[in-house]
Structure 1
Amino acid sequence: MIKNMMIISMTLFCAIGYGQTKQNAKYVFLFIGDGMGASQVYTTEMYLNAKPNEIKSEKLLMNSFPVNSNMTNYSASSYVTTSCAAATAMSTGFKTNNGIIGKSPDKKIAYENISQKAKKAGFKVGILSSVMIDHATPASFYAHQDSRNMYYEISMELPNYNIDYFGGGGFHHPKGKKGDQPDSFENAIKKGYTIADSHEEFNKLKNGDEKIIAINPEKYPTGEFYWAIDKKEDALSLADFTKKGIEVIDNDKGFFMMVEGGKIDWACHGNDGVSMVHEVIAFNDAIKEAFEFYKERPDETLIIVTADHETGALTTGINYATHPELLKYQIISVQEFKRKMTELKNTDPKVSFNTILDLVQADFGLGNKDVGLSLDDKELALLKSAYNKQFKGHKKVNADADYLTKTKTKSMGETAAYILNEKAGINWGSGNHSGTPIPVRVIGKGQEEFSEYFDNTDLPKKILKLMGI
């Protein structure tokens, strides 16, 4: 009897000892490509590998990770989710209705999210995005509001949870929609945050700095990063913010970092295929920074790459053919081409259609028969119609309009992108989200936990389990 008791005691001791010494995922990266379905990733791979008359595919880093699975993402109110409902599920483990941030469908319960739980457990936390940090996806990792559109309220809530590092774009309305409210940045400063919104201040950030809000000094007036395709000189990238974030919050206890490639979604809403490709590349570059960290600590680091939803119902191929090499002739975002057209109209209101066609060829390749981009009568008619509406019909084109704004009048830039996508075999089913499951790519400590098809509510549960929280 005594012998049996000793065996039981030893067994329990070993079990408890194993539970206490078993190594957890100490450093966790969650990369969310907003709007990035499998087609967005594959189109990017085709673009990077494309050569005339050559079929070849080399994987992006994310697609080389050993675990490749998929995740469902429906919300509590629809099979087609919004970013905030999806990100709420991914951060809290609970479904909510489209439009809600961090709360139950009836808006009565504020769900505790993974950032809050990680902080309570002693981990450091970083939240990064290439769009405004009070936008739907990043906000869902710290805020609790009835609507994703309550940007001012979200920005005022941001400093309440002592998150260590915010990085990316600015706030939508730092003084409220009417500009008459207490400043969101001043509110954060009062609560102990340091604002780094210049290159000098960004470069000075170092390991151990606490409560940082790093804002890209090169951004659009509305707060989001410039498009990756436009290569604005000296503009900081998502990779820069990721690298700096790692430097700032690296510590012996560990950290959780969420990094959003937000403008993938924006490009897909606008059906701007080439800008989308460049945003996926920029997102992949950020993943490379985490991967460099992983290579130094492979037994302690976990990298998860996924999306909140797919945008645009993107497919590839027309009549069994694609010509992704043609996409390389677009060298500007649709938004910047809109700005170029607006400036031209202001300086030369009577600019000719032929002059515009020359600019379309220079920036999109269209009309260059030597590379397979000649324009037929139908395509010329589409461009002429857009020209007449924009330059002759006095239709104003707002280059900085909200990315969700839909207009019946298609600008020259949107029309050019549509024609180029058609020629390359890139098809868009809509300008909105689709309900398709989204890819999950994982490497590192506990990667096997993600190997089977699962729901987005399971994501934070798996991460917290692996972190030992």
Structure 2
Amino acid sequence: MTKTLKRVPAILIVLLLLFSISVFPAGAASAPAVKNVILLIPDGMSVGGTTLARWYKGGTPLAMDEMACGLVRTYSSDAAIADSAPAATAYATGFKSHTGYVAVLPDVANMPGLQPIPKGDERKPVATILEAAKLAGKATGLVATCEIPHATPAAFSSHCPDRSNYDDILEQQVYSGIDVVLGGGSKFLESGARKDKEDLIKVIKELGYDYVTTPEALHKSNSSKIWGMFAPKDLSYDFDRDPAKQPSLAEMTSKAIEVLSKDKDGFFLMVEGSKIDWAAHANDPVGVVSDILAFDNAVKVALDFAKKDKQTVVIAVTDHGNGGITIGDRETSNNYDELPLSTFIEPLKRAKLTGEGVEKKLNADRSNIKEVMATYYGITDLTEDEIKAIKEAKPGKLNYVVGPMISKRAHIGWTTNGHTGEDVVLYVYSPINDRPTGVIENTDIARYMERILVMDLQETTKKLFVPARTAFEARGARVKWDDGDPNNPVIVVTRGNDKLRLPVNKNLAEINGKPVKMNGLTVYNGVTTFVPEEALDLLN
């Protein structure tokens, strides 16, 4: 009896230990919270392009390969094939939208399974994951190889139902308080190129950014706020890039992480390999390979940081397919299984530049076509028709002419010069192995980021986008739209002796002549003006 009683505590201890192991898996107590998200978007990257890039580099795995975990459906609110603006909006906000709309709701949501847009919510701005991160005290950044107001970066940092309205989009971006912005598009910041004549480069400097324009200046910067512009418009394809004049996507990603990771609260960073999409539009496989490999180098930078940091989730996912690229074309229909790998790769290996880079090597009268195409694009057997087509190509469009030429020689197939509607591959690294799997919606990416960062996009929308007239008039104020300068409209709110001025597209306010910086923007969607909740309190 005594021996039995003595054994009971020991048995209980063993059972308790087993219970604790089953309920709290090994390492759970020390499992790191996710503080940071790096979202990398290879715009327009189809699986065929990814496979081609892998073979081009010898068949060794891409950095993103180990992260593959699912598929993403890319359709927009009213179309099976998405434009980049609504595709990026889905990732940024968790809402599908319409062609050309950045971070605003669509007018119509009629694809199968979607809920209709409530009347009055059409074109309403909705908060982005970048804005939610900023409100949570995290550092934020944008990196792209296109101009910064282009569709994808715009969808994370501005709100506009017209993706081509660079004036409004870029002004919103400048006044959004993003910590690191790196890419192209300096000409759109200049006063001479803007309808409002505002010198946004001057504004950027006044806001405390280190404004840099060379790789050397970027690397040397010790600032916690950097705005880097490395081309008047888009950056060069990586194969065409001059390293002394433009940093690589990997270099920009590395610098952004270096700066943002100093924030103790964490960070959100969006990185876009923008011109994979542009090369696919042109059916230029050299451009596709060039920038998929450059993008993958950026993924490696992010992944290496995340594995060391252990508090960072890395997501790589394209917004849609493009071009319908295939390894094999109509001419390989009967002998596809007999052709060596070199059939598809060697013609591409002979090219030193993309179609866009080749155009810059042609002289003014294009009398050196044969020499340039042989030296820089690896084609030595041009036909007279091909020479004529190159000579007649419109400026800026040569890649649309020579891309199909090298594709034909490499038996790379294409179905379109436009986007495509297939599901795309999702790549995710999580330090706690919390990854989406299976086939998911593009909007689920935003919901995933929202969940792992413990944020609430719906509440952020309520805080940042209050219908101005309705809200102010409910408080007994009068609201006037002052468009004396139509390119710099201002909302003027008066109540009693108080006067509040809210310039559109800015995070600035003026109450009784006193300037105030708000935590959000004043946004006009063409119908309604929205202000941060904070603006309402300025009249109290």
TM range (shorter): 0.7 to 0.9
In structure 2, C-alpha distance between the alignment counterparts of 1:165 and 1:157, rounded to whole Å: 15
CA offsets per residue over residues 345-381 of structure 1, 9 Å max, x none? 1xxx7x4xxx5324322222223xxxxxxx4xxx614
Q: Does 1:185 align with 2:197?
A: no
Q: Does 1:457 align with 2:443?
A: yes
Alignment match, 2:119: none
In structure 2, C-alpha distance between the alignment counterparts of 1:242 and 1:356, rounded to whole Å: 37
Pick closer, same or farther for the CA change 1:147–1:282 going to 2, 3 Å.
same
Return the TM-score normalized by structure 2: 0.70
In structure 2, C-alpha distance between the alignment counterparts of 1:83 and 1:414, rounded to whole Å: 20
Alignment match, 2:354: 333
- State the Cα distance separating 1:237 from its structure 2 match: 0.8
- 8 Å contact from structure 1 (residues 151, 172) kept in 2: no
- State the Cα distance separating 1:326 from its structure 2 match: 2.0
Alignment match, 1:380: 383
Pick closer, same or farther for the CA change 1:179–1:468 going to 2, 3 Å.
closer
In structure 2, C-alpha distance between the alignment counterparts of 1:243 and 1:117, rounded to whole Å: 23
- State the Cα distance separating 1:188 from its structure 2 match: 3.2
In structure 2, C-alpha distance between the alignment counterparts of 1:164 and 1:20, rounded to whole Å: 33
- State the Cα distance separating 1:185 from its structure 2 match: 2.3
Pick closer, same or farther for the CA change 1:21–1:357 going to 2, 3 Å.
closer
SS in 1 for 2:352: coil
- State the Cα distance separating 1:282 from its structure 2 match: 0.7
Aligned-partner residue type, residue 187 of structure 1: V
Q: Does 1:366 align with 2:343?
A: no
Mean Cα displacement is larger for which, 34-43 or 316-325? Answer: 316-325
Aligned-partner residue type, residue 211 of structure 1: K
In structure 2, C-alpha distance between the alignment counterparts of 1:304 and 1:21, rounded to whole Å: 23
Pairs aligned (count): 404
In structure 2, C-alpha distance between the alignment counterparts of 1:30 and 1:130, rounded to whole Å: 15
Task: Identify unmatched segments of 5+ residues in structure 1.
Answer: 1-13, 50-56, 368-374, 402-410
Structure whose CA Rg is larger: 2
Which of 302, 306, 314 is matched with 1:294 structurally? 306
SS in 2 for 1:45: helix
In structure 1, C-alpha distance between the alignment counterparts of 2:304 and 2:55, rounded to whole Å: 25
- State the Cα distance separating 1:26 from its structure 2 match: 1.4
- State the Cα distance separating 1:308 from its structure 2 match: 0.7
- 1:44-443 correspondence runs (5 A): 44-49=53-58, 57-65=59-67, 67-106=68-107, 107-171=122-186, 173-174=188-189, 175=191, 177=193, 181-206=197-222, 209-216=223-230, 219=231, 221=232, 223-234=233-244, 235-250=246-261, 251-298=263-310, 300-318=311-329, 319=332, 320=336, 321=339, 322-341=343-362, 343-345=363-365, 351=367, 356-367=369-380, 375=381, 380-386=383-389, 390=391, 395=392, 397-399=394-396, 411=398, 414-443=400-429
- 8 Å contact from structure 2 (residues 361, 372) kept in 1: no
In structure 1, C-alpha distance between the alignment counterparts of 2:32 and 2:96, rounded to whole Å: 30
Which of 31, 39, 43 is matched with 1:34 structurally? 43
Higher normalized strand content (fraction of residues) = 2
- 8 Å contact from structure 2 (residues 31, 432) kept in 1: no
Alignment match, 1:4: none
- 8 Å contact from structure 1 (residues 125, 163) kept in 2: yes
SS in 1 for 2:283: coil
- 8 Å contact from structure 1 (residues 305, 442) kept in 2: yes
- State the Cα distance separating 1:417 from its structure 2 match: 2.9
Runs of 4 or more off by more than 6 Å in structure 1? 19-22
SS in 1 for 2:169: helix
**RMSD over aligned Cα atoms:** 2.5
SS in 1 for 2:407: helix
Aligned-partner residue type, residue 386 of structure 2: L
Mean Cα displacement is larger for which, 166-175 or 122-131? Answer: 166-175
Pick closer, same or farther for the CA change 1:446–1:88 going to 2, 3 Å.
farther
In structure 2, C-alpha distance between the alignment counterparts of 1:292 and 1:446, rounded to whole Å: 16
In structure 1, C-alpha distance between the alignment counterparts of 2:124 and 2:89, rounded to whole Å: 13
Of structures 1 and 2, the one scoring higher in RCO (CA 8 A, sep 6+) is 1
- State the Cα distance separating 1:289 from its structure 2 match: 1.2
In structure 2, C-alpha distance between the alignment counterparts of 1:45 and 1:68, rounded to whole Å: 18
- 8 Å contact from structure 2 (residues 282, 403) kept in 1: no
- State the Cα distance separating 1:200 from its structure 2 match: 4.7
SS in 2 for 1:155: helix
CA offsets per residue over residues 126-174 of structure 1, 9 Å max, x none? 1110111111000100100110000111111013332211111124522
SS in 2 for 1:450: coil
- State the Cα distance separating 1:233 from its structure 2 match: 3.9
Pick closer, same or farther for the CA change 1:428–1:233 going to 2, 3 Å.
same
- 8 Å contact from structure 1 (residues 159, 193) kept in 2: no
Pick closer, same or farther for the CA change 1:327–1:141 going to 2, 3 Å.
same
- State the Cα distance separating 1:105 from its structure 2 match: 1.0
